[in-house]
């Protein structure tokens, strides 16, 4: 009997259908228990007795990747329509929150200012674009500056060692970077994007034009605009202009010969005795009373800053630069320290060079000249792409920029690096304390605006510093043609505004004056001639 029962048990087990379980239900649904019967061999159990046992195995939990893959394949995605009114209401709540936050910050700033007269100055009124672009900037203190600050911090994050080469090569492929001309060939040595953007080139990668009368391109890039300045306006694009006053500042620089250092500055004259003696002899023979050409906005007004109010941020230039610039200034047709005479045949010229993300991002001196002072306009950081230049009036007068004012052998010379989206950080090698792309505000500019309001004068729009102590004779920082001046942390724009001899035509040919050597839209390299001064042929 026992053998018969066991045989039937095996038959039942064989006839039972096989169950299959998908991976989806392994964890949520356990398989049915199996049943096995064995003959009872114990005493007193009776003939033909048997005992059955039930077994139940716990299913093995699948791996996380398997469950994730299964959920991704089997989960149904359902889209729901959100009413337009809900979106509009959400934007309204966001705007209401911003308005309330700005009002709360304003009240807090006023309370702090009342409690402590030496506290952080009030934020100055920002310049906003006209027309439809005003709506873009009216929703917050700056529509792009927080993103630029975050991007700057992201650029400084250290990249994993084994991701640097593929990452930088991908960037170079997208933006056309020539890796063969980089001085540091091992891309592992660039810890982050910021260091790669600010890369140096191999010696000889950029050749300076041999003509000493040529004005060099200050950087790699594309020539967007150039020409003569008529009526104090610079052409941004065809049919759209902006004024020199808006770009460089409305007040005219005062006499460098009368500069007096701020009490907080430290004199830093040139250390080479021979160069100092040459400069002193040059000043004794030619006189030292001079001023920049009064070209920007007419005679000085009472709103002009006095030199005693300016802090000196200069560093010592190289003796070779001082000597070469001093010798070059001696070659001018008229003494460079004299006032602009009416009979002097000169014109104001300008050039705009746009740096793309793949370009070499350091900028250099286009000629031998002396930088006397710096103006920092802590503006916005809109993109300077060709499209936005065609659509946003006065783009360069809205963006953050550093204006360097000085002179060369033909008169006035200015050099303006302009910040852009994601590239607000502008570095000047010979400035000790310049800081750009601040997340919140520029404290020096805010303090200058507050002091101007206290005096009942209009705010000039910038914070100013002098480089007088760099040379006790030249009263500025001397720069040689091709010498590195600083750079951007990605791409941006350089604007040159300078005085040069007016062209003189005779017989259909230019006999002398300044002539251009480039075309609009042309790609240029640093050191390539933008134009040149033609002497009598």
Q: In terms of Cα–Cα distance, which of 527, 500, 495, 529 is closest to 514?
A: 500
Contact call for residues 252 and 232 (beta carbons, < 8 A): no
The predicted model scores a pTM of: 0.61
Is 220 a residue of the active site?
yes
Give the pLDDT confidence score for residue 418 in this predicted structure: 85
* Pairing status of strand 311-312 against strand 463-466: parallel
CA distances (Å), origin 474, targets 198, 255, 406: 31, 12, 11
CA distance 191 to 180: 19
Residue tagged 């390299």 (tokens): 525
- Which residues, in sequence order, are CB contacts of 378 under 8 Å at separation 6+? 400, 436, 438, 441, 442, 445, 462, 463
CA distance 478 to 433: 19
Give the pLDDT confidence score for residue 9 in this predicted structure: 46
Give the pLDDT confidence score for residue 531 in this predicted structure: 94
Is 535 a residue of the active site?
no
Give the pLDDT confidence score for residue 364 in this predicted structure: 95
The strand pairing partners of 498, in sequence order, are: 349, 413
Residue of 209, 220, 442, 446 marked active site: 220
CA distance 185 to 179: 8
* Pairing status of strand 477-479 against strand 369-377: antiparallel
Contact call for residues 19 and 36 (beta carbons, < 8 A): no
Give the pLDDT confidence score for residue 94 in this predicted structure: 80
CA distance 468 to 313: 9
CA distance 215 to 433: 29
Is 258 a residue of the active site?
no
Tokens of 418: 């302009």
Half-sphere exposure of 91 (CA within 13 A, CB side): 5
Tell me: the pLDDT tens digits for 42-64?
Answer: 554 445 566 665 555 666 777 88
Q: In terms of Cα–Cα distance, which of 83, 6, 102, 98 is closest to 49?
A: 6
Tokens of 288: 């030292």
Give the pLDDT confidence score for residue 78 in this predicted structure: 78
Classify the phi-psi angles of 95: left when phi > 0, otherwise alpha if psi is within -120 to 50, otherwise beta. alpha
Give the pLDDT confidence score for residue 61 in this predicted structure: 78
Give the pLDDT confidence score for residue 420 in this predicted structure: 64
Angle at CA of residue 236, ends 296 and 172, nearest 5°: 120
Give the pLDDT confidence score for residue 282 in this predicted structure: 38
Residue of 137, 217, 279, 364 marked active site: 364
Classify the phi-psi angles of 508: left when phi > 0, otherwise alpha if psi is within -120 to 50, otherwise beta. left
Give the pLDDT confidence score for residue 536 in this predicted structure: 54
Q: In terms of Cα–Cα distance, which of 374, 375, 373 is closest to 468?
A: 373
- Dmax over Cα atoms in the chain, in whole Å? 139
CA distance 495 to 366: 12
| Cβ burial, residue 452 (10 Å; 0-12/13-18/19+) | middle
Residues of the chain with pLDDT under 70: 1-59, 110-154, 236-242, 250-316, 319-320, 322-344, 379-398, 420-424, 435-449, 452-453, 455-460, 490-491, 507-508, 510, 536-537
Query: Does the CA dihedral 243-246-249-251 come out positive or negative?
Result: positive
The strand pairing partners of 427, in sequence order, are: 487
Give the pLDDT confidence score for residue 365 in this predicted structure: 95
Give the pLDDT confidence score for residue 74 in this predicted structure: 83
**How many CB atoms are located within 10 Å of the residue 251 CB?**
20
């Amino acid at each position: 009997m026992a053998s018969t029962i066991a045989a039937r048990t095996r038959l039942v087990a064989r006839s039972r259908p096989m169950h299959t379980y998908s991976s989806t239900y392994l964890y949520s649904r356990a398989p049915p228990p199996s049943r096995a019967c064995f003959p009872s061999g114990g005493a007193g159990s009776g003939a033909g007795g048997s005992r059955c046992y039930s077994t139940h195995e716990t299913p093995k939990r699948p791996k996380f990747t398997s469950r994730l893959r299964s959920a991704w394949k089997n989960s149904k995605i359902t889209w729901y329509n959100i009413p337009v009114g809900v979106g509009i209401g959400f934007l309204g709540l966001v705007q209401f929150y911003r308005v309330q936050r700005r009002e709360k910050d304003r009240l807090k700033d006023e309370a702090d200012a009342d409690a402590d007269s030496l506290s952080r100055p009030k934020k100055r009124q920002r310049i906003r674009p006209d027309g439809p672009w005003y709506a873009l900037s009216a929703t917050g203190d700056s529509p792009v500056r927080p993103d630029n600050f975050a991007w700057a911090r992201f650029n400084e994050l250290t990249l994993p060692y084994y991701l640097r080469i593929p990452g930088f090569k991908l960037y170079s492929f997208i933006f056309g970077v020539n890796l063969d001309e980089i001085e540091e060939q091992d891309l592992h040595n660039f810890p982050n994007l910021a260091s790669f953007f600010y890369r140096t080139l191999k010696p000889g990668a950029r050749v300076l034009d041999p003509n000493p009368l040529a004005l060099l391109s200050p950087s790699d890039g594309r020539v967007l605009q150039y020409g003569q300045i008529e009526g104090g306006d610079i052409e941004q694009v065809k049919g759209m202009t902006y004024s020199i006053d808006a770009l460089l500042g409305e007040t005219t620089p005062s006499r460098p010969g009368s500069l007096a250092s701020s009490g907080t500055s430290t004199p830093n004259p040139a250390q080479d005795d021979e160069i100092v003696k040459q400069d002193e002899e040059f000043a004794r023979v030619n006189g030292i009373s001079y001023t920049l050409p009064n070209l920007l906005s007419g005679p000085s007004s009472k709103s002009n800053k006095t030199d005693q109010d300016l802090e000196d941020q200069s560093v010592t230039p190289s003796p070779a630069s001082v000597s070469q610039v001093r010798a070059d200034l001696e070659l001018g047709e008229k003494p460079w320290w004299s006032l602009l005479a009416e009979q002097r045949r000169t014109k104001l010229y300008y050039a705009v060079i746009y740096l793309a993300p793949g370009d070499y991002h350091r900028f250099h001196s286009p000629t031998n000249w002396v930088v006397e002072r710096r103006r920092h306009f802590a503006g916005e950081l809109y993109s300077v792409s060709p499209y936005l230049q065609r659509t946003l009036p006065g783009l360069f007068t809205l963006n953050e920029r550093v204006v360097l004012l000085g002179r060369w052998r033909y008169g006035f010379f200015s050099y303006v690096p302009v910040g852009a989206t994601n590239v607000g950080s502008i570095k000047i090698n010979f400035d000790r304390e310049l800081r750009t792309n601040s997340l919140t505000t520029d404290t020096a500019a805010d303090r200058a605006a507050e002091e101007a309001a206290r005096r009942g004068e209009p705010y000039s729009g910038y914070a100013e510093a002098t480089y007088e102590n760099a040379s006790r004779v030249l009263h500025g920082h001397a720069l040689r043609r091709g010498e590195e001046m600083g750079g951007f942390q990605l791409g941006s724009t350089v604007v040159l505004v300078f005085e040069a001899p007016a062209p003189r035509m005779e017989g259909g040919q230019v006999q002398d004056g300044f002539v251009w050597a480039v075309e609009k839209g042309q790609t240029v390299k640093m050191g390539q001639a933008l134009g040149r001064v033609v002497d009598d042929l």
